[in-house]
Amino acid sequence: MKVLLLGEFSGLHKNLKEGLEEHGVEVTLAASGDGWKKIGCDISLGSEKSGIVGKIEKIKNILFAIPKLKGFDVVQLISPIIFPKTLGLNRLLIRYIISRNNKVFLVGAGATSANSIIADFTEKEFKYPQLFENIKKSSPEIWSQGTAGRRYNRWLIRQVNGYIPIMYEYAEGFRRHDSSKLCETIPIPINIDKVKPFENRAYGKIVIFHGLNREGVKGTPLIREAMENIQKRYPDEVECVIKGKMALDDYLKYLESVNVVIDQAYSVSAGVNALYNMSMGKVVLGGGDQEFLDEMGVDESPLIPIYPSVKDIEYKLERIIKDKHFLAEHGRRSRKFVEDHHDYRNIAKKYLSAWERY
């Protein structure tokens, strides 16, 4: 079986590729590296250079890649938009790929500005309206909600064999408004063999960390204020760190010294970042709401939900600070949860089953 994974989202396709290869599947990953995360791939669709030189190199890489993007049993798109939209290039190339491969699937992951149904659900029906408000601040014109974006998304969903969401946030909108191509939700794969778990103990100060990445969307202003208040209140017991834009390998190395991670304030589920931290044995705040539990089909998780409130974030942090023994046991539960529900080999089996069924 030959599979083409097209595009990247925080290492989701990288982990899936490694899981599929464990089952003897021949996998090609074509992507741009997901920006500053510098996630490796087999076929480059991007450029690490900036400005006009970077744009030229990106177009060159795409042109050289085109002949290699055909003849697969399954192609999976990480987003409706893989290539530049300029002059209709993305639609032209997606049409080419659909016509020259057997089955094509679309993943529901991120892509608010690219996927019309996700954008509408996030704006009008998601429990935390602050999320879309902050998306609009950084991008007042959401392409997926414009005429061209809606027309393209309607066309694409008719062409693909199935739409596979990775969590509640990307499934619920399709359940409510267009379930014609909706497959079951498949959790995010994590290659747990490559992520070493650490005994979560604070021999000195408890290190509390928040990674910088799209500050408004992640609720960073709320998280920063809560962390500053906690740092002032417990200067001898905690070290609060906010840092970001590190390559994935550097990021995972840095996390080795961290005890508690605040992921984001406007999520109900666990994204890739939260799962990487959980697999290392960290205590993770953000996500784990009831919608997440229902979508995963579990009764509980080690995620500590937080609400978009400075006071709530402070309260959850104080509970951890006052019981340092909580760290080690909770860290073990975090790792176990990822092993049980996000093992890359088991998740790869779920994808193989979905691709065969739809």
pLDDT at residue 182, rounded to an integer:
98
Residue 226 and residue 183 in one domain = no
Residue 15 and residue 123 in one domain = yes
Percent of the chain at pLDDT above 90? 84
Between residues 172 and 326, the one the model is more confident about: 172
Asked if 349 and 159 count as a contact pair (C-beta separation under 8 A), the reply is no
Residue 49 and residue 61 in one domain = yes
287 contact partners, CB below 8 Å, separation of at least 6: 263, 264, 267, 268, 269, 270, 271, 274, 303, 305
The SS3 call for residue 211 is strand
pLDDT at residue 356, rounded to an integer:
98
101 contact partners, CB below 8 Å, separation of at least 6: 4, 69, 70, 71, 72, 73, 74, 75
- Choose among 305, 303, 304, 306: nearest CA to 275: 303
Residue 16 and residue 164 in one domain = yes
pLDDT at residue 35, rounded to an integer:
66
Q: Is residue 22 part of a domain?
A: yes
Residue 299 and residue 250 in one domain = yes
Classify residue 238 by burial, with Cβ atoms within 10 Å: 0-12, 13-18, 19+: buried
Span 304-358, pLDDT tens digits: 999 999 999 999 999 999 988 889 999 999 999 999 999 999 999 999 999 999 9
Residue 264 and residue 153 in one domain = no
Residue 7 and residue 123 in one domain = yes
Q: Is residue 167 part of a domain?
A: yes
- Of 131-140, 228-237, 268-277, which gets the smallest average pLDDT? 131-140
Residue 288 and residue 156 in one domain = no
Q: Is residue 196 part of a domain?
A: no
CA dist 153 and 331 (Å) reads 41
Residue 114 and residue 144 in one domain = yes
Query: Does the predicted TM-score (pTM) go above 0.75?
Result: yes
Q: Is residue 198 part of a domain?
A: no
Domain residue limits at 22: 2-189+344-357
Q: Is residue 145 part of a domain?
A: yes
- The H-assigned helical ranges of the chain are 12-22, 51-65, 89-99, 116-124, 130-138, 147-159, 168-177, 215-218, 220-233, 248-254, 272-279, 290-296, 310-321, 325-341, 344-357
Asked if 293 and 179 count as a contact pair (C-beta separation under 8 A), the reply is no
Span 236-262, pLDDT tens digits: 999 999 998 788 788 888 899 999 999
CA dist 213 and 246 (Å) reads 10
Residue 155 and residue 52 in one domain = yes
Q: What's the token pair of residue 26?
A: 């021949």
Burial 329-352 (b: 16+ CB within 10 A, else e): ebbebbbebbeebbbbbebbbbbb
- On the question of pLDDT at 28 being above 70, the answer is yes
**How wide is the angle at C-alpha 99 spanned by C-alphas 95 and 102, nearest 5°?**
125
CA dist 57 and 47 (Å) reads 6
Between residues 48 and 299, the one the model is more confident about: 299
Angle subtended by helix axes 325-341 and 310-321, to nearest 10:
110
DSSP 208: E
What's the structural domain count of the chain? 2
Q: Is residue 95 part of a domain?
A: yes
In single-letter form, the type of residue at position 196 comes to: K
Span 178-210, pLDDT tens digits: 999 999 999 999 999 999 999 999 888 999 999
Bridge partners, 19 (sequence order): none
> What CATH number has the domain bearing residue 216?
3.40.50.2000
Distances (CA, A) of 256 to 21, 123, 124, 316: 28, 36, 39, 22
Q: Is residue 86 part of a domain?
A: yes
- On the question of pLDDT at 290 being above 70, the answer is yes
Residue 249 and residue 352 in one domain = no
pLDDT interval class at 38 (50, 70, 90): confident
pLDDT at residue 139, rounded to an integer:
84
297 contact partners, CB below 8 Å, separation of at least 6: none
Residue 311 and residue 243 in one domain = yes
Q: Is residue 197 part of a domain?
A: no
Span 82-132, pLDDT tens digits: 999 988 999 999 999 999 999 999 999 988 999 999 999 999 999 999 999
50 contact partners, CB below 8 Å, separation of at least 6: none
The 10 Å Cβ neighbour count of residue 13 is 27
